[in-house]
Chains A and B, each alone.
Chain A
Amino acid sequence: MSTATTQTPRSTLDARPEHSADNPLSVHAMTVAYHRKPVLWDVDYDAPPGSLVAIVGPNGAGKSTFIKACLGLIPAAAGTVEFWGKPYKNARAKIGYVPQRETVDWDFPVSALDVVCMGLYRKIGWFKPIRKAHKAAAMESLERMGLSEYANRQIAQLSGGQQQRVFLARALVQNADLYFMDEPFAGVDAATEAAIIEVLRELRSQGKTVIVVHHDLQTVPTYFDHAMLLNMRIVAAGPVSEVFTDENLNKTYGGRLTLLAEASEAVARAQQGQL
Chain B
Amino acid sequence: MISNQIPDLIRELISFDLFPLTSAICVALSCGLIGNHLVLRKQSMMGDAISHAVLPGLVAAFLLSSSRSPVVMFLGAGASALITVALIELVKRLGRVEPGAAMGVVFSVMFALGVLMLEQASADHVDLDADCVLYGQLETLFFVAPNQWDQLLSIETLRAIPTQVTTLIGLTVLVLIFKLALHKELRIASFDPGLATTQGIHAGLITVLLMVMTAACAVASFEAVGSILVIAMLICPAATARLCTDRLSTQIKLSAVFAVSSAFIGYLLASFVPEMLGMPSSLNAAGMMSTVSGAMVAIAAAASPSHGLIAKSRRQRSLRRSIAIEDLIGTLYRASEMGITRSPTTTIELTMHIKDLNQVIQAAERQDLIINHGSQLELTKTGLATGAQLLRRHRLWEGYLVDEAGIRLDNVHDIAEQLEHLSTQEPVPDLQTDPQGKPVPPRMPPTL
Contacts and interface: CB of A to CB of B under 8 A. Distances in A.
B192 A99 contact: yes
Given A121-B188, A126-B185, A127-B182, A109 B247 contact: yes
Interface residues of A, number: 30
Contact of B191 (A95, A97, A110, A154): A110
Contacts, number: 74
A254 interface: no
Q: Which of A72, A73, A97, A109 has the most CB of B within 10 A?
A: A109
B426 interface: no
B195 A99 contact: yes
Contacts of B198: 71, 73, 92, 95, 97
Contacts of B442: none
Nearest to A128: B184
A32 to B, nearest CB: 16
A118 B248 CA distance: 14
B184 A108 contact: no
Contacts of B342: none
Contact of B194 (A99, A108, A121): A99
A109 B199 contact: no
A118 B247 contact: no
B197 A73 contact: yes
Q: Is the interface of B mostly helix, strand, loop or mixed?
A: helix
A118 B192 contact: yes
A52 B385 CA distance: 51
Nearest to A127: B181
Interface string A114-137: 110011011010111110000000
A108 B188 contact: no
B40 to A, nearest CB: 6
A154 B196 CA distance: 20
B40 A108 contact: yes
A103 B201 contact: no
A167 to B, nearest CB: 9
A108 B190 contact: yes
Nearest to A97: B198
A156 interface: yes
Nearest to A118: B188
Interface string B171-200: 000000000011011011011101111111
A13 interface: no
Given A109-B242, A109-B247, A92 B195 contact: no
Contacts of B248: 108-110, 114
B336 interface: no
B304 interface: no
B246 A156 contact: yes
Contacts of A129: 184
Given A109-B245, A109-B251, A130 B184 contact: yes
B246 A103 contact: no
Given A92-B200, A127-B181, A111 B194 contact: no
Given A105-B42, A121-B199, A130-B184, 6 more contacts: A73-B198, A92-B200, A109-B40, A109-B251, A118-B191, A121-B200
Interface of A: 68, 71-73, 92, 95, 97, 99, 103-105, 108-111, 114-115, 118-119, 121-122, 124, 126-130, 154, 156, 170
